[in-house]
Each structure stands twice: as structure tokens, then as C-alpha cells.
Structure 1
Amino acid sequence: MKINSLLSLEKISYKPTGKTILDSVSFEIKTNEHCVLLGRNGAGKSTLVNLIYGMIWATSGTIRLFQETYGEIAIQDLRKRIGILDSSQQENSIQRKLTVKDTILTGLFHTIGYYRDPSPEEETKTLQILKDSDLLSKKDQLYNTLSSGEKKKILFLRSIVNEPDFLIMDEPCSSLDLTAREDFLGFLKEYHSKKNLPLFISPIGQKKFRIFIPKRFY
């Protein structure tokens, strides 16, 4: 594998119970590159995302991320370096009584739930990211009372609060109407301009897109 390779998949197949979902998929993302995953419904895009995040395991083939081979390193250690925005799962899993601030804090805890008190440093970091995004006024509002567009913004901040080396966004615009989608995309672009976050957006149809965003290495 090349030194500047960030993520590589080599002949990945996923065939649970004998049904072929992915068959010998190979590709590579180099450092500072972006990858947009396109495909029709049922093509296996979510399966590929789950394989990369280590939620499921390939039937055959090899996945490497950060020069580490899956199966040879604890997946929990890799996940600490990956940010993920998977709104279809995360929105349904957020505890109902969590505030906006607490929801973002769970990104630092690497859990979907809130199970411990934050350190002063974690509290400061969370408030700063809300301030940088002009959302500090929302910090004490219950997450489940936000609009759909606001929830997406908070889940995005949750995915990057730990400054991941690799960010996966799986259909972040799902369930948003046209106005909310345009507002969310504008929010991403504005955040990118403030923080110089490597960002590549490619809509699929009117509502959905998937993005992999590798963090820059200097």
C-alpha cells in the first residue's frame, strides 16, 4: 500500500446468508482526496459505509485505513479517528432529554448516549464549536425540539467535535425539504470557509448525497 493512501479496499465482498450485496469492490482514497459515493437505491452504499466504520465485517477482502488493516487492530481505536454523520440512525438513537450541548458532547465520548459528566476541557470545546457555528444560543435547548435542519447541523458538529482524521457523511440531507436542504448546505459551506475544512458536496437527485471527507495532513 502506498504511503499516501488514506483508505483502501481490496476485493471486498459482502455476502450475508449467501446473498451477494457487494462483490469484489476495490478503490483507494489518498491523503487530501475526497470521495463521493454514488449509486441507486439498493446498490450497497450503506453497506459500504458500515464496512468502513466497522459496524459489519466483509465476507472476504481487505480494508485498510490510516495504514492499519481491519482485523489486525482494535476497531474501537480506529473509530476514535473517524467522524460519522448517519442521521437515519443517529436521530432515532439520541436520548430524548439531551440538550444541544449534551448531544454534541456525546461525539467526544464516542457514544450515542450521555453516560458521564464532561471534563472542563470537553465543556469548553463544545461551547466553542457552537459559538463558531453561531449556534451558541441553542446550547440549552432540547435536541428533539429542534427543526429537522437544525438537527442536521447539530449532528454535523457532533461528528467533527473530536477533530476526526476521517469524516463520513451518510445521506445528511435525507428528510429535509428543499428550503431546509439549501440552508444546511449553506451552513456546511460557511463552516468550511471559517475552518477551512476539506469539503466536497455532490447532490444525488434532490435530497440525498454521501460524502467521505478526509482530514488534511500537513
Structure 2
Amino acid sequence: MSTETTQTAQTQPTTDEDLLIDFQNVSFVRGGKTLVGPVDWQVELDERWVVVGPNGAGKTTLIRMASAQEFPSSGVAFVLGEQLGKTDMRDLRAAIGITSSAIAQRVPDDEKVGDLVVSAGYAIMGRWREEYEGMDYEQALEVLEQVGAMHLIDRTWGTLSDGERKRVLVARAVMTNPELLILDEPAAGMDLGGREDLIGYLGDLALDPDAPAIVMITHHLEEIPFGFTHAMLLDEGSVVAQGLIEDVLTSENVSKAYHQPIEVTYDDGRYFARRARKGRGGAHRA
């Protein structure tokens, strides 16, 4: 092997095989503005991450890169062991379960809930003439029951409330037995009962050793299920803190991210946050 070939091999970026997400000095720039970064971030198979931060913090942009929807502007990003920009993104997306408002907008109003969930295994949106096996339907029934949406199986998408749609999208995301599960505000739009049901299910999923790695975006600490292990706090595209969830979600760190005095409490496996009654701080940024 020539010296030139050896040097080239040595400079190729690499990742650890145990990492499902490996961002190395990653940034995302659009219109001359840095939306995220630079960020170093690693997610292992048995980790459950929550990404928290105010509007405009860069949470959705970060998750779009993690779900192989966007390329980084700089740095190196590995997802499921493949480097973004060096592999077929369609193959990567097929191994990632995801819920988001963008996916919700793509679902036809006349699509039946049962068809929407069962078709996830074939990476399509909108059933046409596909033939599915009995085991596909059995799995669809199982995941719909787990998220409390079994009663919606014959309803059409256009007749569902926002909260009902959230449940169905979570069922579709886990239908494929993904290696990585990404949840973008899964409890948004739900009433209190529906939210607690979903959080309970996600908590059970987080504690399941056979479940995929999970990354969830939320605006509200109260929506973080029990069993989540790690957290990242973002503000204006930069990382305020990341690591073990109990080290990150402190009053000091959350106050710094939201630019006002926030009191964070932890009770029976759940986090809660409110503005501190004592002390003065900056106004919330819209």
C-alpha cells in the first residue's frame, strides 16, 4: 500500500459500532444562519434521550439530521453506522421509526387507521394494491392496542383529533421494529388523560431492554416518560448541557436555556418545571 493510500485511509472518519447516532462537530446552516451546532452527540443502543429547549433552539433541525432527513452543513454525522452523505438515505430511513407533524401532513384524509399502521412495514404512505400477511395485521392490532388506539382502527385519518393522530403515528413508528425510534413532540395536542396514557406506554417501552434506542423532542418536562436516561438542552442552536438526565435537567440548566428562573422538581420518576416565584429573570423568548 502506498504512503498516499495509507494517509487517506487514516483520515477517513470512523464511528464506534455501538453508536446509533454519532455526531462529530456537526453544524447545520441555512440562509447564512447557523440553526444547530457545532454539536458532538453520541447515542447508544440502550439509551433513551429527550431533547428540550425553547422555540427556535434547533431541536427539530437536530432531529431531522438524526432521522436521515437532512445532511449536516459541516462536521461528520453517522446514523446507524452509516455516514450521512456517503450512503443511501432511503435505506437508513427504513430502519428508523419516526413521528412528526411533517409525516402527519402527508397522510391522506381518507386513509384508514389500520391501513396506515400496517403499511409502515413497507415504508409507504397511502395503501393502494399491496397484499399483507396475517402476521402484519396481528402486529398492527397489537401496537394500536398498546398505544390506546385500537378503537380507531376503522376510522379514517381525516376524522381523527390531534391527540388521536398522535397515538396512531406512534403505533406506525413502532410497527416496523425500528433500530432507532424518534418522537417529535408525541404528546402535543393530547388531553390530560390521553397524554398520561401515552407517557405510560412510552415509559414501559423505555424500560424494555429489547426496545430500540429512543430520542424524543418535547417542550414540557412533564411529558418526559419514566425510564429515560439522557437529556440534551438546546438554546439558539447551541448545547446548554447534555448527558445523564439527572445531571442535565436541573433548575440551573433549564433556567439558563429559557432565560428565566425555572424551578425543576422530580417526583416518582417524572420531572416537573415552573417559573420560580422568587427572584427575577429575563422574559421568555417567543
Q: Structure 1 length as normaliser, TM-score?
A: 0.81
Separation in structure 2 between the aligned mates of residue 67 and residue 206 of structure 1, nearest angstrom: 30
- The letter for the 2-side match of 1:107 is A
Number of the residue aligned with 1:183 = 197
Matches for 1:12-91 after TM superposition, within 5 Å: 12-86=26-100, 88-91=101-104
What percent of counterpart residues are identical?
27
The answer for unaligned runs of 5 or more in structure 2 is: 1-14, 229-286
Separation in structure 2 between the aligned mates of residue 10 and residue 50 of structure 1, nearest angstrom: 16
Separation in structure 2 between the aligned mates of residue 60 and residue 200 of structure 1, nearest angstrom: 22
- Note if contact 2:146-2:201 (Cα within 8 Å) is conserved in structure 1: no
- The letter for the 1-side match of 2:196 is E
Q: Which of the two has higher C-alpha Rg?
A: 2
Number of the residue aligned with 1:162 = 176
Separation in structure 2 between the aligned mates of residue 30 and residue 50 of structure 1, nearest angstrom: 18
How far apart are residue 93 of structure 1 and its match?
1.9
- Note if contact 2:22-2:41 (Cα within 8 Å) is conserved in structure 1: yes
Number of the residue aligned with 1:216 = none
SS of the residue 2:137 aligns to = helix
How far apart are residue 144 of structure 1 and its match?
2.5
Separation in structure 2 between the aligned mates of residue 51 and residue 104 of structure 1, nearest angstrom: 24
- Note if contact 1:90-1:112 (Cα within 8 Å) is conserved in structure 2: no
Of 113, 121, 124, the residue aligned with 2:126 is: 113
SS of the residue 2:56 aligns to = coil
- Note if contact 1:12-1:60 (Cα within 8 Å) is conserved in structure 2: yes
Number of the residue aligned with 1:205 = 220
Q: Structure 2 length as normaliser, TM-score?
A: 0.64
SS of the residue 1:63 aligns to = strand
How far apart are residue 152 of structure 1 and its match?
1.5
**1:75-131 deviations in Å (ceiling 9; x for gaps):** 111111100011x22222211111110111232221333244232243343234335
How far apart are residue 133 of structure 1 and its match?
5.3
SS of the residue 2:52 aligns to = coil
SS of the residue 1:37 aligns to = strand
1:94 aligns with 2:107: yes
Of 165, 168, 172, the residue aligned with 2:186 is: 172
- Note if contact 1:102-1:114 (Cα within 8 Å) is conserved in structure 2: yes
- Note if contact 1:14-1:60 (Cα within 8 Å) is conserved in structure 2: yes
- The letter for the 2-side match of 1:111 is I
Number of the residue aligned with 1:153 = 167
How far apart are residue 4 of structure 1 and its match?
1.9
Report which structure shows greater RCO (CA 8 Å, sep ≥6): 1
How far apart are residue 205 of structure 1 and its match?
2.8
Separation in structure 2 between the aligned mates of residue 171 and residue 34 of structure 1, nearest angstrom: 15
- What is the alpha-carbon root mean square deviation over aligned residues? 3.0
How far apart are residue 195 of structure 1 and its match?
9.3
SS of the residue 1:15 aligns to = strand
- Note if contact 2:23-2:41 (Cα within 8 Å) is conserved in structure 1: yes
1:6 aligns with 2:20: yes
